Amino acid sequence: MTIDETSSQTTTDTPVDVGGASAADRVAAVMGRRKRGDAAKKATGRADWSSWPEYDAAANGLRNYWYPVYWSAELGRKPAAVRVCGEDVVLQRGADGVAYGLHDRCPHRGVPLSMGKEEFPGTITCPYHAWTFDLADGELVAVITDGPDSPMCGKVKVETYPVDEAVGLVWVFIGDREPHPLREQLPEELCDPPTYAVGGRIEDRNGDWRLYAENGFDEGHAKYLHRTSYWRIFKTMPTWNVVHIERHGRWIYRIEDERHWDAEFPGLGRWTNYRWWKKKPMQQQGKMLGNTGGAKKNDPYIVSQDLPGFASLSMPGVLRIAYPQFFHYEFYVPIEDGRMKYVGVMVQFKTGLAKAGFFAKYLGGIRWLFHGNFSGQDGWMVEATDAPPERLYRPDISLLEWRRMIEEGNPFDDAYVATGDSVTPASEAPGDHD
């Protein structure tokens, strides 16, 4: 149940019956998880995450999702090893140029297949005893050290993983069912976009993927932590904001109701992010792209998306930030408990010389400034974070809505019970119930 502050009316999220004899049970299960999550929102001091059991159990990641793990341009016919959600996968292109994924373990003696090579087109050969597997179906098709008539052929198989490519990335599906189309999981604006350019960074980092997702969508940290980043050195950010969270479809949006560019703290003094060398905000209040006070010119395609807020988050950990001239995405890909693959992608809708200019600027400085120094500050803090236990405050309304969304289940599962759009007002933020 959510409350719309502007009209003081109560609205109820209505479950949508997806059919089947167990629909009522699924509704009851989802609503039960939501009730626990709603109760947890009112408790600002948490000793553990037991109020969010699905979230608490997801240290190794969420299953039945596509995860971006590698640059398409860098994957060739040489095996590449990745680890996703605690599972080891070897990627390799076949002679047909298609990317394939197999479990990275030879069933003979357990040697990683990624240490091997392609001896025959469309295959991968273990470096130890030359067991050779078909990339498409994982079947053992030859054992070089046992001769052409090896009786092992046709009796052994390696698990395969669904693999697809989009936005310049190789994606692997980790799950226990047939995968949904990757297109359904992509940010909608990347499904049929105009010509665009992509720049980014893929980097393995220490720290819990859940904390990275919370950090990305977090309302409070950017204005203080990133004030020292070179990416923000000449731009003023607010001192503090009042926000609410809106749910639209499979995305949650952070909406700024008030921006305070400076503040007087009783008995302490005045504090502001503004310095004489920083640009003053062009726009102090109202809807805008980015968080530094608007821009003279906004990209028309980005504006046409009419997003409720510039910061949004979706499952299984996809952050989207709409800036005046580009979209920034962060994919928090779980490697295993305590380790995460950071996939940061900047997308600009440019063509011709403008597209070439973007690549020049990105490689010449933006990649280090934005996906290096700026993003590295997040990694620094997440790696140092020791939670739970935790004591939450008003800006943490964003991370609580994220945890609640995970409790509701996978929106791409057939058994998922959809809920209507909702609004969580600032009055329901943690800290207001003490």
| pLDDT computed for residue 38 by the predictor | 59
> What does pLDDT average to in each consecutive run of 10 residues of the chain (434 residues)?
33 41 61 58 72 95 98 97 98 97 98 98 98 98 97 97 98 97 97 92 95 92 78 74 91 89 89 74 54 67 91 96 91 97 93 83 80 81 92 92 94 85 81 55
Whole-angstrom Cα distance, residue 397 to residue 425?
9
Residue 24: the pLDDT is 63
- Every domain range in the chain assigned CATH 2.102.10.10: 65-166
Instruction: Name the 3-class secondary structure at 421.
Output: coil
**Architecture of domain 65-166 in CATH?**
3-layer Sandwich (2.102)
CA distance 316 to 412: 10
DSSP 233: T
| pLDDT 10s digits, 183-201 | 999 999 999 999 999 999 9
pLDDT for the residue 18: 41
pLDDT for 428 equals 82
Range(s) within the chain of domains with CATH label 3.90.380.10: 194-428
**Cβ(223)–Cβ(273) under 8 Å?**
yes
**Listed residue (308, 303, 351) closest to 327, CA to CA:** 303
Dihedral of CA atoms 389, 395, 397, 401 in degrees, nearest 10, equals -90
Q: Whole-model pTM?
A: 0.85
pLDDT, residue 17, reads 42
Residue 70 phi, psi dihedral angles, 5° rounding: -160, 155
Distance (Å, whole) CA 305 – CA 354? 22
User: What's the pLDDT at 98?
Assistant: 98
Alpha helices in 186-278 (DSSP H): 209-217, 222-225
Model pLDDT, residue 32: 65
Of residues 242, 256, 257, 207, the one with CA closest to residue 377: 207
Enter the DSSP assignment of 364. I
**In sequence order, what are the residues at sequence separation of 6 or more whose Cβ sits closer than 8 angstroms to the Cβ of residue 110?**
none
Smallest CA-to-CA distance from 400 within 150, 210, 166, 134 is with 210
Cα 130 from Cα 133, distance rounded (Å): 9
Burial 403-421 (b: 16+ CB within 10 A, else e): bbbbbbbbbbeeebbbbee
Q: Does domain 194-428 have CATH number 3.90.380.10?
A: yes
Tell me the three state secondary structure of residue 284: coil
DSSP string computed for 126-186 = -TTT-EEEETTT-BEEEEGGG-TT-TTTTT-B--EE-EEEETTEEEEEESSSPPPPHHHHS
pLDDT of 132 = 98
